[in-house]
Amino acid sequence: MRQNNNMVAMILAGGRGSRLFELTKKVAKPAVYFGGKYRIIDFPLSNCANSSVEVVGVLTQYESVLLNSYVARDHHWGLDAKDSGVFVLPPREKDETGFGEYRGTADAITQNIDFLDQMKAEYVLVLSGDHIYKMDYADMLEHHKKTGADATIAVLEVPLKEANRFGIMNTDKNDIIVEFEEKPAKPKSNLASMGIYIFEYKQLRKYLLQDEKNPDSSHDFGKDIIPNYLADGKRLTAYRFKGYWKDVGTIDSLWEANMDLINPNNELDIFDLDWKIYTEDVNAVPQFIGENADVNNALITQGCQVYGSVKNSVLFTNTVISQDAKIIDSVIMPNATVGRGAKVTRCIVADNVEIAPGAVVGNKDSENILLVAKNVSK
Amino acid sequence: MVDALGIINFEDSTADIEGLGNYRPVPAISFLGRYRIIDFVLSNMTNSGMSQIQVHIKEKPRSLIEHLGTGLHYNINSKRGKLRLLYGESKVMSEVYNHDIGSFIQNMQYIEDSNKPYVIIAPSYMIYKIDYTEVLKEHIASQNDITVLYKNVDNAKTEFIGCDTLVMDKDKHITSIEKNRGKYKTRAVSMEAYVLSKRLFIELVNRAANTSALYWFKDILREVCGELKMVGYPVRGYVACINTLPSYFKANMELRCPDIASDLFVEDWPIHTMTNDSAPTRYSKDAQVCSSVVANGCVIEGKVENCVIGRNVTVKKGAVVKNCIILPGAFIGESAKLDSVIVDKSAIVHHVKKLVGTPEAPIYVKRADRI
């Protein structure tokens, strides 16, 4: 018997994340590297595992080969017990409608109604595959049941002046949602939707099938399904989340979120032994810090070799920082190497990139973070 | 793919790792930050394509059972392969009866049941890299009775004390096996790893038991030296024998050097271990670290020089840790000054002005101790 009343998680992981440029050329955004040893999707997957949500469907579409093979190895998150599993759900060819790509977040779920039926879902937890945060979904389900809601939406308090960048939930004093506004010019509330929903499956199923037939729909949860629920007077409650949450959609925000991890007081706390973030188990020796190395304010993982200076930076698996090289305010992704005497400032260096000895990349006064996705010669 | 049953044997009483050995068997001792000693022999076997492996455990099986599990993380197929943890289930009358022959006899059914025609036996306390595919191929081609792995060393006066050494003729036929008592510099040290047919192995185990109730497998080999065709097979590259606290200390320290470690850690020959899902290690603004191997999950705020730091270790600001091996989960508090110390798992070292050992006699801080 599965715990949590057969709540099945559906992670939306089909998006490209085009503002991450070369980082998402061959992989979908949820598979982008993060925090030294992780990929972004490790966070929702680990949250599921830690919340005892044992059945997880991952809806993939854009450049999905790597992501599919990555999440299919469900033992990495401990989701491999008898009744658990991570199920890869890319678009497929169908008898009547032919090959159907996912036309929107809601459509991706609609096209997998047979999967949810098969799993005997009672509740559906809809998640994004590209957000960095820790959340106990079991607690959110408790809240959902307690409030007797038809659907529950996790919300985050954001500064009011930034609220126009988010989907905003206007609520009454009991946190019942009365209105949803996508990126409002004049926000009435500062409760931003985190794109995390719990639905009663039977009811959601009806709404999805209805939406599928609507030619004017964009088949999106925020734009179509939620407004339809509200129009019908359904009870939607807000679940207030407190803590670290980041959408790492741009090079700057990806860099920032990595940098946050260096701060000893950062709210995300990936060192919490009660809520570990699980990931792929790579065969790499422990990190080696060489004789003349100089390392401060850094997050470094296994397989790294550091002979130079690393300040205020994050080094991912198997990176090599040669003697006299200087890494400042930068993020160096797996298997990248920085040659002797090279200097890297305010950069994200993509995986497997080689920076030649003596090369200088990035600038301490740059407004934006530089993405280095190709080898750099001197 | 090697057509042999792997048997990971336990060490005899010549291997005595003071302190660390009181809490777990030698194969379960933490090594180089993220590994345990048994990972090396076991990875050699699975990387060679061996899928049926037995681990014989002398005592205190808990930590090994937890670490090895079903062997999935060593690449052992959960249906076709088998990692079996075996120990003598009947009570031994005295420590001297707790030997490998006893364990083999009590578990003989699992050895006989294997469909593999050969056995490869190796202890875990010898650390090196070997491809058993090659060894077995040569063993079969040469039609010898037993192949014994060895390493030519020139430091037998001080290292490998108590180990078996091979006396061989120019064709590498073993004429006798002698204990290393530290009299000579150059010796062919036996890795105590043997390749032989399963039939002969069972025969020798029974013969050992019938000869003496105190015999180990290596004792019977010494006796049949002239009678059977035994040959040596040289191991190349780095070898460490972890049979004392100083040798444990030395091997950890040596392997900090990437040039030495590259003998053992090769891309196409991964050393598998149990993941602990630790976060990367965080170095604070005050950290000063050099010439050290650091595992994941640590928070380093102090000074660390020439050390091996295990997973989830904290070194607080103001602490100075030099030439030390800190095992997983230990906490080194603010004022601590340590030199040549081995701190066991989860120990808390607080308020210590100074703790200084030497590489030959490192100080040992007990597991979960509070200082």
Lowest mean pLDDT among A40-49, B50-59, B300-309: B50-59
Please indicate, yes or no, whether residues A243 and A323 belong to a single structural domain of this protein: no
Mean model confidence pLDDT for chain B: 93
DSSP string, A105-128: HHHHHHTTHHHHHHTT-SEEEEEE
DSSP string, B9-64: EPP-TT-B-TTGGGTS-GGGSEETTTEETHHHHHHHHHHTT--EEEEE--S--HHH
Query: Cβ B296–A281 below 8 Å, yes or no?
Result: no
What confidence score (pLDDT) does residue A1 get?
A: 44
Chain B residues whose beta carbon lies within 8 Å of the beta carbon of residue A36? 279-280
Checking if the pLDDT of A184 tops 90, the result is yes
Using a CB–CB cutoff of 8 Å, tell me whether B292 touches chain A: yes
Does residue A304 sit within a domain? yes
Does residue B269 sit within a domain? no
Checking if the pLDDT of B122 tops 80, the result is yes
Among the partner-chain residues A277, A292, A295, the one whose CB lies closest to the CB of B287 is: A295
Give the global pTM. Answer: 0.94
Does residue B307 sit within a domain? yes
Q: How far is CA B286 from the centre of its chain?
A: 36
Among B231, B261, B291, residue at a domain's last position: B261
Does residue B271 sit within a domain? no
Chain B residues whose beta carbon lies within 8 Å of the beta carbon of residue A265? none
CA angle A356, A358, A362 (to 5 degrees): 85
A206: which 2 tokens?
A: 């009806």
Please indicate, yes or no, whether residues A195 and A318 belong to a single structural domain of this protein: no
Quote the ipTM score.
0.93
Does residue B115 sit within a domain? yes
Does residue A46 sit within a domain? yes
Checking if the pLDDT of A339 tops 90, the result is yes
Does residue A378 sit within a domain? no
- Residue A134 to chain B, least CA–CA distance (Å): 14
| Residues B48 and B231 sit within 8 Å (Cβ to Cβ) | no
Among A242, A261, A280, residue at a domain's last position: A261
**What phi, psi does B309 have (nearest 5°)?**
-110, 125
Among B209, B226, B261, residue at a domain's last position: B261
Please indicate, yes or no, whether residues B250 and B354 belong to a single structural domain of this protein: no
Domain carrying residue A315: 288-372
Residue A117's CB is within 10 A of a number of other CB atoms, namely: 11
Please indicate, yes or no, whether residues A322 and A245 belong to a single structural domain of this protein: no
Chain A residues whose beta carbon lies within 8 Å of the beta carbon of residue B296? 37, 286-287, 301-302
d(CA A345, CA A361): 6
Q: Which residues of A are annotated as a binding site for alpha-D-glucose 1-phosphate?
A: 102, 167, 182-183, 193
- Give the pLDDT band (50/70/90) at residue A127: very high
B342: which 2 tokens?
A: 């081995």
H-type alpha helices, chain A: 42-50, 65-72, 105-110, 113-118, 137-147, 201-213, 226-231, 251-260
Please indicate, yes or no, whether residues B80 and B223 belong to a single structural domain of this protein: yes
Residue B151: which CATH number?
3.90.550.10
**Smallest Cα–Cα separation from A177: which of A140, A142, A227?**
A227
| Residues B133 and B2 sit within 8 Å (Cβ to Cβ) | yes
- Give the pLDDT band (50/70/90) at residue A2: low
For A268-291, write each residue's pLDDT tens digit.
Answer: 999 999 999 999 999 999 999 999
d(CA A180, CA A193): 9
d(CA A228, CA A214): 12
Please indicate, yes or no, whether residues A74 and A146 belong to a single structural domain of this protein: yes
Write the burial class of residue B323 (CB in 10 Å: 0-12 exposed, 13-18 middle, 19+ buried).
buried
Q: How many domains does chain A have?
A: 2
Q: What is the mean pLDDT of residues A31-44?
A: 97
Query: Cβ B265–A271 below 8 Å, yes or no?
Result: no
Q: How many residues does chain B have?
A: 371
For B328-360, write each residue's pLDDT tens digit.
Answer: 999 999 989 999 999 999 999 987 778 999 988
Q: Which residues of A are annotated as a binding site?
A: 102, 167, 182-183, 193
d(CA B162, CA B111): 29
Please indicate, yes or no, whether residues B199 and B307 belong to a single structural domain of this protein: no
Please indicate, yes or no, whether residues B65 and B211 belong to a single structural domain of this protein: yes
What confidence score (pLDDT) does residue B16 get?
A: 85
What confidence score (pLDDT) does residue B363 get?
A: 92
Q: What is the mean pLDDT of residues B144-161?
A: 94
Please indicate, yes or no, whether residues A240 and A341 belong to a single structural domain of this protein: no
Residue B343: which CATH number?
2.160.10.10
Please indicate, yes or no, whether residues B318 and B253 belong to a single structural domain of this protein: no
Please indicate, yes or no, whether residues A226 and A318 belong to a single structural domain of this protein: no
For B262-281, write each residue's pLDDT tens digit.
Answer: 999 999 999 999 999 999 99
Question: Which residue type occupies A335?
Answer: N
- Residue B289 to chain A, least CA–CA distance (Å): 7
Please indicate, yes or no, whether residues B345 and B242 belong to a single structural domain of this protein: no
Q: How far is CA A340 from the centre of its chain?
A: 35
Please indicate, yes or no, whether residues A133 and A254 belong to a single structural domain of this protein: yes
Does residue A302 sit within a domain? yes
Please indicate, yes or no, whether residues A140 and A60 belong to a single structural domain of this protein: yes
Q: What is the mean pLDDT of residues B176-180?
A: 94
- Give the pLDDT band (50/70/90) at residue A4: low
| Chain A residue with Cα closest to B270 | A283
Please indicate, yes or no, whether residues A27 and A108 belong to a single structural domain of this protein: yes
Please indicate, yes or no, whether residues A240 and A299 belong to a single structural domain of this protein: no
Does residue B126 sit within a domain? yes
Residue A148: which CATH number?
3.90.550.10
Q: How many domains does chain B have?
A: 2
Does residue B146 sit within a domain? yes
Using a CB–CB cutoff of 8 Å, tell me whether B268 touches chain A: no
Chain A residues whose beta carbon lies within 8 Å of the beta carbon of residue B278? 276
Does residue A282 sit within a domain? no
Please indicate, yes or no, whether residues B83 and B32 belong to a single structural domain of this protein: yes
Does residue A281 sit within a domain? no
Domain carrying residue B218: 4-261
Please indicate, yes or no, whether residues B331 and B210 belong to a single structural domain of this protein: no
Residue with tokens 């960095």: A132
Chain A residues whose beta carbon lies within 8 Å of the beta carbon of residue B286? 296
Q: What is the mean pLDDT of residues A92-105?
A: 90
**Smallest Cα–Cα separation from B67: which of B101, B22, B28?**
B28
Please indicate, yes or no, whether residues A175 and A294 belong to a single structural domain of this protein: no
Please indicate, yes or no, whether residues A197 and A112 belong to a single structural domain of this protein: yes
A84: which 2 tokens?
A: 């658990």
What confidence score (pLDDT) does residue B335 get?
A: 86
Does residue A83 sit within a domain? yes
Query: Cβ B296–A289 below 8 Å, yes or no?
Result: no
What confidence score (pLDDT) does residue A16 get?
A: 86
d(CA B29, CA B31): 6
- Give the pLDDT band (50/70/90) at residue A98: confident
What confidence score (pLDDT) does residue B369 get?
A: 87
- Give the pLDDT band (50/70/90) at residue B98: confident
CA angle A210, A215, A218 (to 5 degrees): 85
Does residue A277 sit within a domain? no
- Residue B287 to chain A, least CA–CA distance (Å): 6
d(CA B291, CA A306): 10
The dihedral sign for the CA sequence B199, B200, B204, B210: positive
Query: Cβ A291–B291 below 8 Å, yes or no?
Result: yes
Does residue B37 sit within a domain? yes
Checking if the pLDDT of B11 tops 50, the result is yes
Query: Cβ B282–A279 below 8 Å, yes or no?
Result: no
| Residues B21 and B13 sit within 8 Å (Cβ to Cβ) | no
Please indicate, yes or no, whether residues B72 and B170 belong to a single structural domain of this protein: yes
Please indicate, yes or no, whether residues B320 and B248 belong to a single structural domain of this protein: no
Does residue B267 sit within a domain? no
Among B261, B296, B325, residue at a domain's last position: B261
Please indicate, yes or no, whether residues B37 and B102 belong to a single structural domain of this protein: yes
Please indicate, yes or no, whether residues B153 and B287 belong to a single structural domain of this protein: no
The dihedral sign for the CA sequence A139, A143, A145, A146: positive
For A198-244, write each residue's pLDDT tens digit.
Answer: 999 999 999 999 999 999 999 999 999 999 999 999 999 999 999 99
Checking if the pLDDT of B103 tops 50, the result is yes
d(CA B22, CA B60): 9
What confidence score (pLDDT) does residue B271 get?
A: 96
Among the partner-chain residues A277, A286, A293, the one whose CB lies closest to the CB of B33 is: A286
Among the partner-chain residues A264, A283, A287, the one whose CB lies closest to the CB of B284 is: A264
Chain B residues whose beta carbon lies within 8 Å of the beta carbon of residue A262? 282
Query: Cβ A300–B290 below 8 Å, yes or no?
Result: no
